[in-house]
Amino acid sequence: MEILDPSIAAEVADKLLEIQAIRLQPEKPFTWASGWKSPIYCDNRLSLSYPEVRNLIRDQLVKSVSHFFPTAEAIAGVATAGIPQGALIADKLELPFIYVRSKPKGHGMENMIEGKVTPGQKVVVVEDLVSTGGSSLKAAEDLKNAGFEILGMVAIFSYGFDVANKNFSDAGVKLVCLSHYDALLPRAVERNYITSETLESLAEWRKDPGSWKQ
């Protein structure tokens, strides 16, 4: 995983905390669909309701695409949360936009990919959040199978799990994120969302989320 700018990583983390798109509850953990206990819950879709934050994220994702993937010919959003972010980026860059479903539509053309499919086109995939990378990389694989050339992926936030880094490396997909867990924690302490005493527990969760507080 790479980031464009450490100062932007801190600013984005700060804004996500401010609008409560990211919530930290180490003493009352959330339960993910996987069954994992987690001290953090991230819903970046909330950023769409705050123009200042929405524009910050859009502009920095645009910069990330332009810097890391300057030969991009199209933008692909991952359904559902990557769709609005991807559309905003494509509009700003004046590039074609498509999006990838998690499974084929159950009626009509039964499309997996919505929009014009152009084999050989160089595409950047857009996600809002990366955890293990499973669903994100499946979308990239579906695009590849449709004939697209995958340049890489950009996302708003990553938990920074080792398993995600390995999955992206094994798949040969470059991941660029605006912010991540390590940038978040110092901002959370400064804003008094957590205390310095809880940092150790939060660090332990990231190392082994599957067994944390089980």
CATH number at residue 90: 3.40.50.2020
89 occurs within a structural domain? yes
210 occurs within a structural domain? no
Global confidence as pTM: 0.93
**101 appears as a binding residue in the annotation:** yes
**54 appears as a binding residue in the annotation:** no
**105 appears as a binding residue in the annotation:** yes
User: What residues make up the domain containing 163?
Assistant: 2-19+55-196
**152 appears as a binding residue in the annotation:** no
Task: Report pLDDT digits (tens) over 85-106.
Answer: 999 999 999 999 999 998 776 5
Whether residue 195 has a cis bond before it, omega within 30° of 0: no
β-strands 74-78, 97-100 pairing: parallel
**23 appears as a binding residue in the annotation:** no
**130 appears as a binding residue in the annotation:** yes
- The pLDDT profile of the chain, 214 residues, written as one tens digit per residue, is 999 999 999 999 999 999 999 999 888 999 987 788 999 999 999 999 999 999 999 999 999 999 999 999 999 999 999 999 999 999 999 999 999 998 776 554 567 999 999 999 999 999 999 999 999 999 999 999 999 999 999 999 999 999 999 999 999 999 999 999 999 999 999 988 888 888 888 888 988 888 887 6
- 97 and 125 in contact (C-beta within 8 Å)? no
**134 appears as a binding residue in the annotation:** yes
- Region of 160 (left: φ > 0; alpha: ψ -120 to 50; beta: rest) is left
Amino acid 207: pLDDT:
85
Q: How far apart are the first and last CA of the chain?
A: 28
Number of independent structural domains in the chain: 1
**129 appears as a binding residue in the annotation:** yes
**116 appears as a binding residue in the annotation:** no
**176 appears as a binding residue in the annotation:** no
